Amino acid sequence: MSCAPPCPSLKWNIFCRVIDNYGDLGVCWRLAVNLARRGQAVRLWVDDASALGWMAPTGAPGVEVLPWHAPLDMDGVVPGDVLMEAFGCEIDPEFIASYASRIRAKGLKCLWINLEYLSAETYAARCHGLPSSVMSGPGRGLTKHFFYPGFTPDTGGLLREPDLLARQAAFDRRAWLARLGIDWQGERLVSLFCYEPVGLPALLQQCTQAAQPTRLLVTAGRASAAVQLWVDEQNTLQPPWNKNKKLLISYLPTFTQTDFDHLLWACNLNLVRGEDSLVRALWAGKPLVWHIYPQDDNAHHAKLDAFLTWLKAPASMRLAHARWNGLEPAAPMPALLQDDTLDAWQACVTQARTKLLAQDDLTTRLLAYVQRLDSD
């Protein structure tokens, strides 16, 4: 369901807490920018905006970033039209009180959205759009609505910019690599954005033994630390471990969100982590392995299985995900760098990407949803 232009301009307040490795902030920033580009005014309240210094150093027109600290200073703050709690964070009672007072005084509709985490599990479609009455506190009598991102038309969809395909078509891989100081000679390119996956040593060993040289493009932070630790161990235990120079490693700087897209577009295989990078890897349309965020109760096992089921992943792709994420630590790692493996994965991801491109993106669905709430 598309939002037919012109969409009325609303004042949005998106609240975000940085929990782990800035994934929540990455999603909220992309959403804020997408809304602003469609004529919405957005305030992003965040408790730690430091990552935006490298993620989005130039900011974005129409997006105001405000510090979210307790107690929240409401002096001169007008709550606006839409409240959005990202990923279960709770908005301060003083803000809710001000918002409730304003909409009641003006006879406005309550547009309070709880943006949930991405999942391919069936509950996402079942719970998408459900209302929840606020029973206590300053928001008593108001109603929240749950908005679930997802991979199917009956969910909230995925974030996608209107110009994404045009930018991707114009991308020059060799020129972009050259700007990073990488003299690319046609070797296979693999991106690595991960935590500390159980399957990392097996992948690195495969790289050293593959027929074709592989250049591993390693993102800054935990991925770089994990690779450097493995390399140091190999240098100590078996110094000639890479004597044929089949594995080439490039450690990358921190990237803007735009350059992270470029990284994924440049590679033959993308190893990604978290919600935002999984979505960007799907739009890149290349073979991928997802390092899902681990949860103490192993809830991520079902979440990963649901995604792979939706993806219609071939058996080798399922096994690679199980091995990479430690679900089957004793299982052999599939030959990720063989052409027939990558060809099968490529066909799978291409089909999934085509299916997703035929659907409305998350911002379009969100604007249409808010319009319906506002008109009911």
Instruction: For the chain, give the percent of residues with pLDDT over 70.
Output: 98
Question: What pLDDT is attached to residue 21?
Answer: 61
**What is the pLDDT averaged over residues 143-152?**
98
> Are the beta carbons of 274 and 303 closer than 8 angstroms?
no
**What is the CA 255 to chain-centroid distance, rounded?**
14
Q: Does the active-site annotation cover 275?
A: yes
**What is the pLDDT averaged over residues 7-32?**
90
For residue 160, give every residue at least 6 positions away whose Cβ sits within 8 Å of its Cβ, in sequence order, or none.
Answer: 283, 361, 362, 363
Structural domains in the chain plus CATH codes? 11-157+359-375 (3.40.50), 164-357 (3.40.50.2000)
Q: Tens digits of per-residue pLDDT, 216-262?
A: 999 999 999 999 999 999 999 988 899 899 999 999 999 999 999 99
Helix (H, G, I), strand (E, B) or coil at 354: helix
Catalytic residue among 24, 121, 261, 276: 24
Alpha-helical segments (H) within 20-142: 23-37, 52-55, 93-106, 122-127
Per DSSP bridges, beta strands 247-251 and 214-218 are: parallel
Catalytic residue among 261, 275, 276, 360: 275
Q: Tens digits of per-residue pLDDT, 261-310?
A: 999 999 999 999 989 999 999 999 999 999 998 888 888 999 999 999 99
Q: Tens digits of per-residue pLDDT, 95-144?
A: 999 999 999 999 999 999 999 999 999 999 999 999 999 999 999 999 99
Please determine, for residue 5, whether its predicted confidence score (pLDDT) is greater than 60.
no
Amino acid at 62: G
Q: Does the active-site annotation cover 163?
A: no
Helix (H, G, I), strand (E, B) or coil at 155: coil
Alpha-helical segments (H) within 255-336: 257-266, 274-284, 299-311, 315-324
Residue 3 binned pLDDT confidence (cut-offs 50, 70, 90): very low
Q: Which long-range contacts (CB under 8 A, 24 or more apart) does 176-183 make?
A: 176/262, 176/266, 177/266, 180/250, 180/252, 182/215, 182/217, 182/250
Q: Tens digits of per-residue pLDDT, 258-275?
A: 999 999 999 999 999 989
> Are the beta carbons of 91 and 85 closer than 8 angstroms?
yes
Kindly state the tokens that stand for 175. Answer: 């020129």
